[in-house]
Amino acid sequence: MRRGEKGILLLTAALVLFFGARNVIHLEHHPVSQDPGIPFYSTASHEVARKATDIIREQGCRNCHTLWATQSMVQFVPSPPLDGIGSLRNEAWLYKYFSAKDPQQMLPSRMKPKYRMPSYADLPENDRRLLASYMASLKVKDWYLKKVREVEYEKLTGHPMVDAGMHPSR
């Protein structure tokens, strides 16, 4: 082995050791539990996600709804966020909802008529199926749902949820 090659080899080994050690230290100082990350995810295939995203853009769903924690800046409408909606509604319900001539019969509205969920009954059936499939794939992690429930509970009752006998061990 030539001197130059030996140097490169040594340097590589040193770098591997350095970054390896850094990662270990990094993990020790930031336990995963302290930064649980974004609670929303999708189980859809790349293909379904891409096609559905096109329809969502064409139909302007984000003029009213947040999705992936963002909403288009055209106006603010207090519609339910679509992140994690698949943990609340299943695909069959969503397909029926998008196909309904009068969606407010399935889900009553408290909004002024112009802010209400429009009917998408006139979209091609394939598009409605794609939307339902994609929406059903938008999930929220359990720890986040639990946290949301706890916050809601405390807001409504003024007591932390542990008082409510939710923890049988206490």
Q: Which residues bind ligand HEC (CB under 6 A)?
A: 56, 59-61, 63-65, 77, 79-80, 82, 85, 88-89, 94, 103-104, 107, 109, 111, 115-118, 120, 131, 135
3-class DSSP state for residue 66? coil
Nearer to ligand HEC, 33 or 70 (CB): 70
Question: CA distances (Å), 66 to each of 76, 86, 118, 149, 156, in order?
Answer: 10, 14, 16, 20, 25
Min dist. Cβ of residue 147 to ligand HEC (A): 19
Min dist. Cβ of residue 132 to ligand HEC (A): 9
Nearer to ligand HEC, 100 or 161 (CB): 100
What is the 3 state secondary structure string of 93-135?
A: HHHHHHHCCCHHHCCCCCCCHHHCCCCCCCCCHHHHHHHHHHH
Min dist. Cβ of residue 143 to ligand HEC (A): 21
Instruction: State how far the Cα of 111 lies from the Cα of 57, in Å rounded to an integer.
Output: 23
DSSP label of 83: T
Nearer to ligand HEC, 81 or 150 (CB): 81
- The structure tokens listed for 160 are 């932390």
Min dist. Cβ of residue 70 to ligand HEC (A): 15
Nearer to ligand HEC, 58 or 163 (CB): 58
Question: Residue 97 in contact with residue 103, Cβ under 8 Å?
Answer: yes
Min dist. Cβ of residue 114 to ligand HEC (A): 7
Nearer to ligand HEC, 123 or 161 (CB): 123
How crowded is residue 65: how many other Cβ atoms within 10 Å of its Cβ?
Answer: 18
Question: Residue 52 in contact with residue 133, Cβ under 8 Å?
Answer: yes
